[in-house]
Amino acid sequence: MSGTAVNVPVSRADAARVAAWLEDFARLSEPGSSEGVTRLAYTALERKAHDVFAGAMREFGCTVWTDQAGNTIAERQGREAGLPALATGSHLDTVPHAGRFDGIAGVVAAMETARIYSENGIRHAHPMRFVAFAAEEGARFGQACTGSRIVSGLTRPDDLYGKRDADGVSLAEAMRSIGLDPSAVAEARWSPDEWAAFVELHVEQGAVLESSGVPVGVVDLISGSTRMLLKVTGRASHTGGTPMHLRADALAAAAEIVLLIESIAGDFRHRGTRATVGRLDAAPGSITTIPGQVRLYVDIRDVDSDRQRATAGEIIARAETLCARRGVRLSSRLLADTSPAVLPAWLREVVAGTCAELDVPHRIMPSGASHDAQMINNVIPSGMIFVPSRDGISHSPEEWSSVDDLATGIDVLAASLLALDRLLLDSPELA
């Protein structure tokens, strides 16, 4: 497999153009969001970003459409009729106060790949599809990868009504507000008859590549994620009138739970587990009132599915004991649960072989974060290309990746898709 010849495009990625597109998308941020970029899922701003993508892809001769999940798909016709499409892409929504690279780098990589093919008259047998997924971030509704989950058949119409944002707006309502029909999302489902393979370029969101001086990572494994809501209920009371020994302080118990979670994930038995309380809401929120209720939003990541779920169970069991000792009550609710994904070795070998042909150093590595490719891998073979993240920072205004590194990753992506095109023409059974 690694001996597959690589058809290197006649021109390489244009770093200046990549930087300009990143800047265009970074400008599409909520008013008053002075730090970083805020462009939440299923909002008008997210749709504006998709419009920018669609406009560019039409300029490159692609046919463009939006499915009922809100994903924007651009197709460049292949030279042979009836073949399933090869695809690349990522997402355009962000977490609050994000950087400009998470997801967007992969969409820009798709745009630049389409430009290279178009301007150089590169022909391929399979259709090439370039995808901007909707709602990958779980920041608004608590569920990650909604657009790619829908096309993979992992999220159904009924699932869209139970997940709500902080304002009580359901996923279904948010989708309707931007012109989508949540009852019709099954129409967006991908079929292996129409799609052959998918490769996503993404910033690493960690420091492995930068610290090792390697420009490209080829992903073999993507961590699973379990997300929970823990609700601690105590007794709201006056801060001055209630002695310390008579309190049922929900926030004090929640603070101890945060440290408990850190301790569990740091234990040697959970080596490789990452557990985080990313959001904590205390009520009633008055400086003169002992908090009566606290909500903790917990995120657990692991490449081992058994350990991932065992960690969640241990957190709940030990938090219940802690709350009983403090005289408060604990309830829990599962928000989302995704298993780790092992990406196909044969596809990984194609990408690694392309790196070798282009003389680009690379390393095989896992991903600690969830990605659209993780969902798509349930339907068609999927791969991932990582480029370095400065200091390993992501989900922050300080998130940064060099456009030169991005250009190198795009070179690998563009050539890998062409290598897959030829390989699957000769060996369609792989897909």
Name which of 138, 137, 135 is nearest 147 in CA terms: 135
Residue 150 DSSP SS3 = helix
For residue 401, give every residue at least 6 positions away whose Cβ sits within 8 Å of its Cβ, in sequence order, or none: 101, 105, 203, 387, 388, 389, 390
Q: What stretches of 211-312 adopt beta strand conformation (E)?
A: 216-222, 224-233, 237-238, 274-283, 289-290, 293-302
Q: Could you tell me whether strands 85-91 and 128-133 are parallel, antiparallel, or unpaired per DSSP bridges?
A: parallel
Name which of 407, 421, 408 is nearest 347 in CA terms: 421
- Could you give the CA distance from residue 57 to residue 68 in angstroms, rounded to a whole number? 19
User: Distances in Å between the alpha carbon of 416 and those of 9, 227, 349, 379?
Assistant: 10, 34, 10, 20
| H helix runs in 60-154, sequence order | 104-119, 146-151
245 marked as part of a ligand binding site: no
50 marked as part of a ligand binding site: no
Q: Angle 186-190-195 (CA atoms, 0-180°, nearest 5)?
A: 165
Query: Tokens 């009852």 label which residue?
Result: 183
DSSP state of 214: -
**147 Cα distance to chain centroid:** 10
102 marked as part of a ligand binding site: yes
Query: Tokens 């008053």 label which residue?
Result: 32
Q: Could you tell me whether strands 274-283 and 293-302 are parallel, antiparallel, or unpaired per DSSP bridges?
A: antiparallel
Residue 142 DSSP SS3 = coil
- Could you give the CA distance from residue 288 to residue 401 in angstroms, rounded to a whole number? 45
Which residues carry a binding-site annotation? 91, 102, 137, 202, 395
- Residues making up the annotated binding site for Zn(2+) are 91, 102, 137, 202, 395
